[in-house]
Structure 1
Amino acid sequence: MALTIANLSKTYANGVQALKNVSLDIPTGMFGLLGPNGAGKSSLMRTIATLQDADTGTIMLDDLDVLRDKDAVRRVLGYLPQEFGVYPRVSAEELLDHLAVLKGIGNSKERKEIVEALLQQTNLWNARKKNLGGYSGGMKQRFGIAQALLGNPKLIIVDEPTAGLDPAERNRFHNLLSEIGEHIIIILSTHIVSDVTDLCRNMAIISQGQVRLTGDPLTVVEQLRGQVWRKLVSKDEVDATQAEHHVISSRLFAGKTIVHVLSDTRPDGSFEEVNPDLEDVYFAQITEPSGKAVPA
């Protein structure tokens, strides 16, 4: 099973070009789509999910034409959008049963077994009678995955699923995604670098509607080795450092600023080499040499 995207472009009526000749090959397993807010991630996800049309390009799920045969795609698709609304006065069990009917699962016995299995899988069984309005953010996200799994989908799209979750709920959600991502395609669209580091064997970085980099997270990090340098500077030195070097990120530490600089060689003796991580790769792709550093 593979999803193949070729030369996909999308411009909205207000003139914003959200996607610019995007091409990606997405295999079975967890695939991370990493980019800042406004990069085009949600536009790409909505297009794959058949919620909007592209201007040009193709999307193929094996031999299924995603852009032309939308009904067939929806039968094998699970989708958890960034804003997932629920009926607050309905229980998880009731709403999941209703959504199963809409998904075409008409046999009541079969539907009951499926709903029970999904609530068990997402660790919501003990809260199945509770109204969704009383669920925490993480519980609502796990319910979102339960509904996305209805109908044994071949492709699942999750858009910014861990934004706003506390660390414990984020870990529960990661474990759930890892469990279900072995034999189907799961696209994880996020701006949280550690989500991709923790979960994905393949990834792409998208910025300003364009694919900047693709590959295995471990490989792309290793390719940056020997090119990231660190220095602790005062607040007054930050602008001068940015003007002189390709600063890819900065963060405050003990009243000063730690800057990470991208350079093939040590900029000067005041810099020390850094073992790069995926965050360095990400910032290196979305910043320009003359641009401002992205706060880490």
Structure 2
Amino acid sequence: MKLVIDNLSKTYPNGVRALTNVSLRLTNGLFGLLGPNGAGKSSLMRTIATLQEADTGRIFLDDLDVLTNKTEVRQLLGYLPQDFGVYPTLSAERLLDHIAQVKGVGNKTERRALVEALLAQVNLFADRKKQLGTFSGGMKQRFGIAQALIGDPKLIIVDEPTAGLDPTERNRFYNLLSSLGDNTIVILSTHIVEDVSTLCSRFAIISRGEVLYSGEPGEAIKALTGKIYSKAIPTAELDQYQTKYDVISTQLKTGKLHIRIMAEQEAGNGFIPVEASLEDVYFSQIMNRATHVY
């Protein structure tokens, strides 16, 4: 499968410009859409999922025009929105059965087999009789993936799926998502850099509705090799360093402020070279975008 997004733009009635000429090319596998809160990620996901109209631009899933063939697209789509609600008094088994009916699985025997197989796939079979209101955040997210998988989708969209999960549930969710991408396009929208570095073979950085970078994580990191330097400074001196250097990130550790800068040449002044990371790529792109907004 191939998903092609060309020059997609969207402005809401209140004047907020959510997307500006967004163009991306996606194939089977996990694709990370990385950006801060309010960057336009959810707007892009909702548009791809046929839940809102675009002002301009085109989206094609293979030869299918997504913006004009909504019913056909929805038959090929699995979607886990950022705010996925459940009926707290229903069991996982009962609600998934109901969703399967809504999605067109009419045969009761077939539906029961599907529900059991999906709950086993997301490691919830032992909890299938429990009320969804008793589930942890990670369990609810795994249930959300189960409902998204009904109908053998060719395109799966998951919007901020690991936000609020503890490390154990996040790792469990990583393993689940990794198993889905062989024959499916999986779009992972997130503001957590670790999600992308752990899971995705390709990614894009989006900020203020614009795509700032698109490519492979390894290539993006390679481009910053030898350009990242770090130093611990007193917090009160941060403004001075921001004036003189391209400070891309800061982190307070044991009373000292550790800053990371990007420099084309040896930085000197006590800075030490450090290994570049995808987080450096992300912050450098966001910083560059902010610097050139007038």
**How far apart are residue 72 of structure 1 and its match?**
0.3
SS at match of 1:86: coil
TM-superposition CA deviations, 1:223-255 (whole Å, max 9, x none): 111111111110111111011111110000121
Answering whether residue 251 of structure 2 is matched by residue 265 of structure 1, we say: no
Gaps of 5+ in 1: 292-296
Does residue 13 (structure 1) correspond to residue 16 (structure 2)? The answer is no
- The alignment partner of 2:288 has SS state of coil
* 1:186-201 superposed matches below 5 A: 186-201=186-201
Corresponding position of 1:46: 46
The one-letter amino acid paired with 1:79 is Y
| Residue equivalent to 1:283 | 283
1:75 and 1:290 map into 2 onto residues whose CA distance is: 39
Task: Give the secondary structure class of the aligned counterpart of 2:265.
Answer: coil
Q: Partner of 1:220 in structure 2?
A: 220
CA deviation string 1:195-244 (max 9, x = no partner) = 00000001000011110111111111011111111111101111110111
Whole-angstrom CA distance in 2 between matches of 1:254 and 1:265: 29
Between the aligned partners of 1:17 and 1:289, the Cα distance in structure 2 is 16
After the TM superposition, which parts of structure 1 deviate over 6 Å for at least 4 consecutive aligned residues? none
Letter in 2 for 1:18: A
- Supply the distance in 1 between the matched residues of 2:286 and 2:237 (Cα, whole angstroms): 23
Task: Give the match's secondary structure for 2:179.
Answer: helix
Question: Partners in 1 of 2:290 and 2:202 — Cα distance?
Answer: 29
- Give the structure 1 partner of residue 165 of structure 2: 165
Distance 1:102 1:248, change over 3 A: same
CA–CA separation in structure 1 for the residues paired with 2:32 and 2:180: 15
Cα distance change, pair 290–102 in 1 and its aligned pair in 2 (3 A): closer
- Measured in 2, the distance between the counterparts of 1:213 and 1:230 equals 24
Equivalent in the alignment of 1:230: 230
Q: Which moved more, 1:107-116 or 1:268-277?
A: 268-277
Shift of 1:106: 0.6
Partner Cα distance (2:12, 2:150) in 1: 32
Deviation at 1:289, TM superposition (A): 8.7
- The answer as to 2:228 corresponding to 1:208 is no
Tell me the equivalent position of 2:106.
Answer: 106
In the alignment, which residue of structure 2 is the partner of 1:126?
126
Q: Does the aligned pair in 2 maintain the 1:243–1:290 contact within 8 Å?
A: no
TM-score by length of 1: 0.97
CA distance in 2, matches of 1:8, 1:217: 24
What is the number of residues matched between the two proteins? 291
- Give the Cα separation in 2 of the matches to 1:104 and 1:85: 21
Deviations 1:81-120 (A, max 9, x none): 0000000000000000000000011111111111010000
Q: Tell me the CA shift for residue 181 of structure 1.
A: 1.5
Q: Is the 8 A contact 1:246 1:290 kept in 2?
A: no
> What do residues 268-289 of structure 1 show as CA deviations (whole Å, max 9, x unaligned)?
2411111101000000000139
Aligned to 1:80: 80
Q: TM-score, normalised on structure 2?
A: 0.97
Q: Conserved in 2, the CA contact under 8 Å of 1:35 and 1:206?
A: yes
Q: Among the aligned pairs, what percent are the same residue?
A: 60
Aligned position for 1:140: 140
Contact 1:81–1:158 (8 Å) recurs in 2: yes
How many angstroms apart in 2 are the aligned matches of 1:110 and 1:290? 53
Q: Residue in 2 aligned with 1:294?
A: none
